[in-house]
Amino acid sequence: MVPFLDLQAVNHQYHQELKDACARVIDSGWYIMGNELTHFEAKFSAYCGTKHAIGVANGLDALILVLRAWKVLGKLKAGDEVIVQANTYIASVLAITENDLVPVLVEPDVDTYNLDPELVRAAITPNTKAILPVHLYGQLSPMPELMAIAKEHDLLVLEDCAQAHGAEIEGKRAGNWGDAAGFSFYPGKNLGALGDAGAVTTNNDELAQTLKALRNYGSHKKYENLYQGVNSRLDEIQAAMMRVKLPYLEKETARRQEIAQRYRAGINNPLVILPQVVSESAHVWHLFVVRAEAREKFQLWLTEQGIQTLIHYPIPPHKQQAYPQFRDYQLPLTEQIHKQVLSLPMDPTMSNEAVAKVIDAVNGFKA
Ligand SMILES: *Cc1c(COP(=O)(O)O)cnc(C)c1O
């Protein structure tokens, strides 16, 4: 069996260092908002090239709290429109609606699954106040074009970097393009904690200070509350785990890119549409997503060949029961994508033999 992602194997690579870091936290007697977090935030902002990284409890909170902070700072108000691609994971949309903002779902570029600058431009109304580009599957959105549109129309840009740690265009990494970015360190993400964790990156001092208060009950100073905040802190244990794993991220990304290269060179089945790559460094391959018209049959075939696959994602946000108000939206491209996508195994610990086995199985599929 070729597993989709063997998390046990991923973390086993560092098991002694992880155990030592865990013991260090246990013995420190300090479990929330301490040295581990401060160190991790400094290392992660340096990795992204940003002035600040603010640890929070998970990726969804990172996105929610940036939008919340912009409301607190008077940059957004309830009812403002936020443009986002319709084929994203539901978290990006939840972050918008949680803040009483209005998601404007636009069709993606079908080749990259990311925002299409022309369709963004066409979706702008007088109520549009922000763009939320999701670097889906690990490929950076067309940020130079999107930032130019944002500047022209005075829009805020919040990057959803949950799948794109380290992706770069023109030497500038995900999380360092927009006004702010949300990262997830869910265990299966490219940089994964051993539980839930997330972070915001930004170069804006005022936003960073506001977020540091919002994540901690709205408090800058113990028992003094500036805002009606939340409890969304990144634990010392998780910060310690990621301090261990962050130095290896570059190596793991390189391996993901190598696996993707092998898939792209080896898969030549006309029934299977391969992902398109803007540039090698722009894609960190959180997922290797292909499309097939006969997706269910294709997935069944791969299962029979001992290849585990997943679907990211089976139901688009506008068709979810959670959002009856979007049910009648006409988004044919997004719906087609959700019917056709299939994610092949992508795991930095995969052997070249396993990669070859996947390629053979994909090429052996017949209509
Ligand atoms: C994983 C993910 C999130 C949410 O992150 P959590 O840490 O699970 O809350 C947000 N957006 C995208 C695109 C994701 O893949």
Measured between alpha carbons, how far is 228 from 206 in angstroms, rounded to an integer? Answer: 17
Q: State which ligand 1 atom lies nearest to the alpha carbon of 88.
A: 13
Q: What are 135's two structure tokens?
A: 């670097």
Measured between alpha carbons, how far is 253 from 165 in angstroms, rounded to an integer? Answer: 9
Query: 34 Cβ partners below 8 Å, 6+ apart?
Result: 28, 236
Look at residue 321 and give its three-state secondary structure.
coil
The reported pLDDT for the residue numbered 367 is 87
The reported pLDDT for the residue numbered 146 is 98
Name the residue type at position 310. L
Three-state SS letters, 168-216: EECCEECCCCCCEEEEECCCCCCCCCCCCCEEEEECCHHHHHHHHHHCE
pTM confidence score: 0.98
Instruction: Pick the residue whose CA is nearest to atom 14 on ligand 1.
Output: 162
pLDDT per 10-residue tile (average), the chain, 367 residues: 98 98 98 98 98 98 98 98 98 98 97 97 98 98 98 98 98 98 98 98 98 96 93 98 98 98 98 96 98 98 98 97 95 97 98 98 96
Burial class (CB in 10 A: 0-12, 13-18, 19+), 2: buried
Measured between alpha carbons, how far is 284 from 191 in angstroms, rounded to an integer? Answer: 11
| Whether the bond into 313 is cis, omega within 30 of 0 | yes
List pocket residues of ligand 1, CB cut-off 6 Å.
Answer: 58-60, 88-89, 91-92, 134, 160, 162-163, 184, 186, 196, 198
pLDDT in tens, 171-187: 999 999 999 999 999 99
Q: Which of 63, 94, 163, 190 to mutate to test the pocket of ligand 1 (most atoms within 8 A of CB)?
A: 163
258 to 167, 218, 263: CA distances (angstroms): 15, 44, 9
Q: Ligand 1 center to residue 360 CA distance, Å?
A: 32
Of 288, 339, 289, nearest to 314 (Cα)?
A: 339
